[in-house]
A and B are shown apart, each in its own frame.
Chain A
Amino acid sequence: MLSRNAQGLYWISRYLERAGHGCRLVQIQYRALQDRTVQELDRTWLRLYLSLGREPLGGRLGSNRDDDDFMFADAYTLTDDLAFEPNNADSIRNCIAAARENARQVRNVIGNEMWTSLNLLYLGMRNLAVQDIWADRAGSFFVNTQDSIRGFFGIADNSMYRDNGWHFLQLGRFVERAQHMTALLDAQLEVFPTDTRHVERDWRSLLQIAFARVAYSRMKSLDFQPGAVIDFLVSDRLLSHSIRYSLEHISDSLDVVSERRPLAVGARRRAGRVAASLDYDWPNRDPRDDAATRATLGSIRDACRRLNEDIDASYFNYDIEDTPR
């Protein structure tokens, strides 16, 4: 497989995963908008922005005012910022456009169906502005966009030949997801430290973002204890948005793509090491020690970033001198 094509597939899924995650964050935030106090909303907005590593337009979050109108206006601005702001490289529209641009580059290795679904998604939002989606039932834009993204991956699931191309699509998706989850959990602990009195809904909404609320209730408990929630989102093997799940998929795909590539063991080792640390180190931590938990999350996140560099250096932009012919 051509390196540039592998790179294109990798970035298609990274950008789509990023856009999907952004949509999910806003969708869950909108649910909160319906019945929470302004102070509570401030904190969940803060969690959202911290997890994206972004400053909202105009600087700091936080209104400190008991004025509902003000908050709604603010949500409008923030929605625009997250969905359409041209200068926000990670805005939903920019991510979709970037995914499509990558898809255009590799159209000959993805099917017509995959291209068409992505192209339609882009064409549908190309000329939208925040007032168009605000007039609609709030949040439906974010729900529909997520549906379309899932549609794209569904088509890929059902139509792609399971060769290296498929595995690069998987790699991009799970490298991105693992980074999102570590960043989100870190932001959660920053805004809602475990040693303060916790509001159950802040932890329930965290699970919702990761599509984990029902699974948690079924497998763990109906009590949303911070430590247990964090543990579930980090280490559960069966939860598709857990960090553990992402790492295992990354390892599996790296096994396949590095089969005939002796130089590429670095990335595989790194992924294996992080997965192993979840097996052996993570259970020993003190769940009440936020600083330690955050340090661990930070190192996972760091490893994921390095993983991205490893993949790039092993498969996309390697030195010719070291290369077997």
Chain B
Amino acid sequence: MPNSPQTGDEPPPEQSLFADYRYDPRFYDEMFEAQAAPREHCRDLWNVLDGMAPEEIAAMQERAERSFLQEGITFAVYGEEGAQERIIPIDVLPRIVDAATWDFIERGLRQRIRALNLFLADIYGRGRILSDGVIPVDMILGCPQYRIEMRGVSVPRGIYVALCGTDLVRTNDGFMVLEDNLRVPSGVSYMLANRGAMRAALNKLFRQYRVRAIEHYGNLLRQTLSELAPRAIADPCIVLLTPGVHNSAYYEHMFLAREMGVELVQGRDLLVHDGFVYMRTISGLRKVDVIYRRVDDDFLDPLAFRPDSQLGVPGLFYAYRLGNVVIANAPGTGVADDKSVYAFVPDIIRYYLSEEPLLANVDTHLCRNPDGLEYTLDNLENLVVKMVGESGGYGMLVGPASTPAERDAYAREILKDPANFISQPVLDLSCAPCLTEKGASPRHVDLRPFVLTGRETRLVPGAFCRVALVEGSLVVNSSQGGGGKDLWVLPE
């Protein structure tokens, strides 16, 4: 077998899963440290997968996909006709993170979310960070996500962001935060669904690795929300507010409501009376204490925000201001995950915590600054340019993948409103093996752990690991055709 890799172990059978796998030193590989040399903690996984017949693996993949379709684990992509109810592609080769790495990630995330909550309390309160000149005032007050209505509102425990889903990427230089996602982050149900499918598919290996459990996420979420309840209510009534079945993440809303054992409500199920929020039940109205909302700020309350919203509850914000109901996340958190504010998060951490940030930021150029604008325009073909208020991979330019005409058009857009754009270098996102028609091939991945903050900060040892399924692509967003895979965090 002249082409088979030499590893010292038993030579893998011909046509084995990793026979054609090309290790690429430009990118950190999550599984291999060199061609055909798996990392220590991935060796058992590699052995098992490489020993499986291609049909076995294909069957495993097919079973996982079928279970997703049957359970209705689907999402919708906007702007695509007939695209309702596509399953989110799952890749059956798990990604493994060792204990030390996870510990580092966890500490970094706790630090970051603590600082961000202090930041939000500050900018909606006295604004010390602004008067101290750490962050430009106009950047905050001019940000469309800044909700002037939130000024002076007392937020329980000062927790604006009870849930976030931070996007992390790994390069040869280590982990970096790509985005904070502090509004209504989604993906946690896919994390749990991927886990369900993979535990069934690779049961023996799963036990052998003693993969750390993530299934108690629902409990933690409920506990977190209970801790935020207005006044000390022993058994607060918690609901999850969804825009409805046509929302791309409806499956997740349903899933979380069930995991937590709370009602899944739509705007029309709720009403505000005498400053309290009630839901319509078959035995009359019932008071609601905590709303885990999956509806954007704009649509929460037609009386306070967008008047044409059909998804919200008239008067909800009034009840919230009175402190009679808690909305998680609080309205107005979007200002802290604005892409230009993002550039200041390391400063925010230093300012409030007097600590050095553990997790690095991606080098970001703000086009609002003349230097940043000039640099961005001069280097468009090497940069990723994003609009500050967008998310989900919409409205961005990936320089190296663009044509000169696209770059010209984009540059004109930038010049129209420079403050609306930032640019970042193209990151060498790490790769992990994914199942393709040609066996395992490297694909770029990131990960999104979910951080909960109530009386304390909690997270389960796991994440939604997103995969760019197209060879060479760096865009992992589900809305742009990305998929997911299970992430195994190992015990110490």
Are the CB atoms of A261 and B282 closer together than 8 Å? yes
Q: For chain A, what secondary structure do more than half of its interface residues adopt (helix, strand, loop), or is it mixed?
A: helix
Report if B257 contacts A (CB, 8 A). Answer: yes
Report if A112 contacts B (CB, 8 A). Answer: yes
- Report the minimum CB–CB distance from B299 to chain A (whole Å): 18
Are the CB atoms of A320 and B271 closer together than 8 Å? yes
- Report the minimum CB–CB distance from A66 to chain B (whole Å): 47
Give the contacting residue for A104; candidates B245, B255, B281, B287; CB below 8 A.
B245
Q: Which of B254-290 contact A (CB under 8 A)?
A: 254-255, 257-258, 263-266, 268-269, 271, 273, 278-285, 287
Give Cα A26 to B71, complex, Å.
31
Give Cα A188 to B422, complex, Å.
75
CB contact under 8 A between A320 and B285, given known A3-B280, A4-B269, A119-B72: yes
Contacts of A119 in B (CB 8 A): 70-72
Are the CB atoms of B254 and A107 closer together than 8 Å? yes
CB contact under 8 A between A116 and B70, given known A2-B265, A2-B269, A108-B254: yes
Q: What 1/0 mask marks residues of chain A from 95 to 116 whose CB sits below 8 Å from any chain B CB?
A: 0000001001101100010011
Are the CB atoms of B285 and A315 closer together than 8 Å? no
Give Cα A5 to B239, complex, Å.
13
Give Cα A184 to B66, complex, Å.
41
CB contact under 8 A between A104 and B72, given known A1-B281, A2-B281, A324-B284: yes
Are the CB atoms of A107 and B283 closer together than 8 Å? no
Some 18 contacts from A to B, beta carbons below 8 A apart, are A1-B281, A2-B263, A2-B280, A3-B269, A3-B280, A3-B281, A4-B266, A6-B282, A107-B72, A107-B258, A108-B255, A108-B263, A115-B71, A119-B70, A123-B69, A260-B283, A320-B273, A323-B284
- Report the minimum CB–CB distance from B147 to chain A (whole Å): 29
Contacts of A60 in B (CB 8 A): none
The 10 tightest CB contacts between A and B, nearest first, are A108-B258, A108-B257, A315-B282, A107-B254, A3-B280, A108-B264, A260-B283, A323-B284, A6-B282, A108-B254
- Report the minimum CB–CB distance from B250 to chain A (whole Å): 8
B-side residues, CB < 8 A to A, are 69-72, 245, 250, 254-255, 257-258, 263-266, 268-269, 271, 273, 278-285, 287
Give Cα A324 to B278, complex, Å.
12
Are the CB atoms of B265 and A325 closer together than 8 Å? no
Report if A164 contacts B (CB, 8 A). Answer: yes
Are the CB atoms of B245 and A105 closer together than 8 Å? yes
Contacts of A164 in B (CB 8 A): 282
Nearest residue in B to A118 (C-beta to C-beta)?
B72
Give Cα A325 to B288, complex, Å.
12
Report if A23 contacts B (CB, 8 A). Answer: no
CB contact under 8 A between A3 and B282, given known A107-B72, A320-B271: yes
Nearest residue in B to A3 (C-beta to C-beta)?
B280
Report if A78 contacts B (CB, 8 A). Answer: no
Q: Which of B250, B263, B265, B282 has the most CB of A within 10 A?
A: B282
Are the CB atoms of A112 and B71 closer together than 8 Å? yes
Report if A138 contacts B (CB, 8 A). Answer: no
Q: For chain B, what secondary structure do more than half of its interface residues adopt (helix, strand, loop), or is it mixed?
A: mixed
Tally chain A residues at the interface, Cβ within 8 Å.
Answer: 29
Give Cα A261 to B268, complex, Å.
21
Give Cα A250 to B107, complex, Å.
58
Nearest residue in B to A119 (C-beta to C-beta)?
B72
Contacts of B283 in A (CB 8 A): 1, 260-261
Taking A4-B269, A115-B71, A316-B282 as known contacts, 9 extra A-B pairs with beta carbons closer than 8 A to each other, sorted by chain A number, are A1-B283, A3-B281, A4-B266, A107-B72, A107-B258, A108-B263, A164-B282, A323-B284, A325-B284
Q: Which of B70, B72, B258 has the most CB of A within 10 A?
A: B72
Contacts of A292 in B (CB 8 A): none
Give Cα A251 to B411, complex, Å.
70
Report if A215 contacts B (CB, 8 A). Answer: no
- Report the minimum CB–CB distance from B290 to chain A (whole Å): 16
Give Cα A105 to B250, complex, Å.
9
Give the contacting residue for B278; candidates A4, A123, A257, A325; CB below 8 A.
A325
Give the contacting residue for B285; candidates A115, A168, A323; CB below 8 A.
A323
- Report the minimum CB–CB distance from A224 to chain B (whole Å): 43
Give Cα A316 to B72, complex, Å.
27
Contacts of B258 in A (CB 8 A): 107-108
Contacts of A101 in B (CB 8 A): 245
Are the CB atoms of A115 and B269 closer together than 8 Å? no
- Report the minimum CB–CB distance from A274 to chain B (whole Å): 22
Are the CB atoms of B71 and A116 closer together than 8 Å? yes
Q: What 1/0 mask marks residues of chain A from 1 to 36 whose CB sits below 8 Å from any chain B CB?
A: 111111000000000000000000000000000000
Are the CB atoms of A4 and B72 closer together than 8 Å? no
Contacts of B72 in A (CB 8 A): 104, 107, 115, 119
Report if A228 contacts B (CB, 8 A). Answer: no
Nearest residue in A to B250 (C-beta to C-beta)?
A104
- Report the minimum CB–CB distance from B300 to chain A (whole Å): 19
- Report the minimum CB–CB distance from B116 to chain A (whole Å): 30
Give Cα A2 to B69, complex, Å.
27
Q: Which of A6, A107, A320, A325 has the most CB of B within 10 A?
A: A107
CB contact under 8 A between A2 and B279, given known A116-B70, A120-B70: yes
Nearest residue in B to A257 (C-beta to C-beta)?
B282
CB contact under 8 A between A1 and B285, given known A107-B72, A107-B254, A116-B71: no
Give Cα A168 to B281, complex, Å.
13
Give Cα A101 to B72, complex, Å.
12
Q: Which of B70, B266, B279, B283 has the most CB of A within 10 A?
A: B283
Give Cα A151 to B245, complex, Å.
25
Contacts of B282 in A (CB 8 A): 1-3, 6, 164, 168, 257, 261, 315-316
Nearest residue in B to A106 (C-beta to C-beta)?
B264
Contacts of B264 in A (CB 8 A): 2, 108
Q: What 1/0 mask marks residues of chain A from 158 to 171 whose CB sits below 8 Å from any chain B CB?
A: 00000010001000
Q: Which of A148-188 contact B (CB under 8 A)?
A: 164, 168
Nearest residue in A to B257 (C-beta to C-beta)?
A108
- Report the minimum CB–CB distance from A47 to chain B (whole Å): 38
Contacts of A5 in B (CB 8 A): 263
Contacts of B70 in A (CB 8 A): 116, 119-120
Contacts of B265 in A (CB 8 A): 2, 4
Contacts of A168 in B (CB 8 A): 282
Give Cα A3 to B273, complex, Å.
18
Nearest residue in A to B263 (C-beta to C-beta)?
A2
Nearest residue in A to B85 (C-beta to C-beta)?
A104
Give the contacting residue for A325; candidates B69, B266, B285; CB below 8 A.
B285
- Report the minimum CB–CB distance from B274 to chain A (whole Å): 10
Q: Which of A104, A108, A116 has the most CB of B within 10 A?
A: A108
Give Cα A2 to B258, complex, Å.
14
- Report the minimum CB–CB distance from B221 to chain A (whole Å): 14
Contacts of B273 in A (CB 8 A): 320
Contacts of A3 in B (CB 8 A): 269, 280-282
Contacts of B285 in A (CB 8 A): 320, 323, 325
Contacts of B245 in A (CB 8 A): 101, 104-105
Q: What 1/0 mask marks residues of chain A from 107 to 140 whose CB sits below 8 Å from any chain B CB?
A: 1100010011001100100000000000000000
Nearest residue in A to B270 (C-beta to C-beta)?
A2
Give Cα A318 to B271, complex, Å.
13
Nearest residue in B to A322 (C-beta to C-beta)?
B284
Contacts of A260 in B (CB 8 A): 283
Contacts of B284 in A (CB 8 A): 261, 323-325
Give Cα A19 to B71, complex, Å.
22
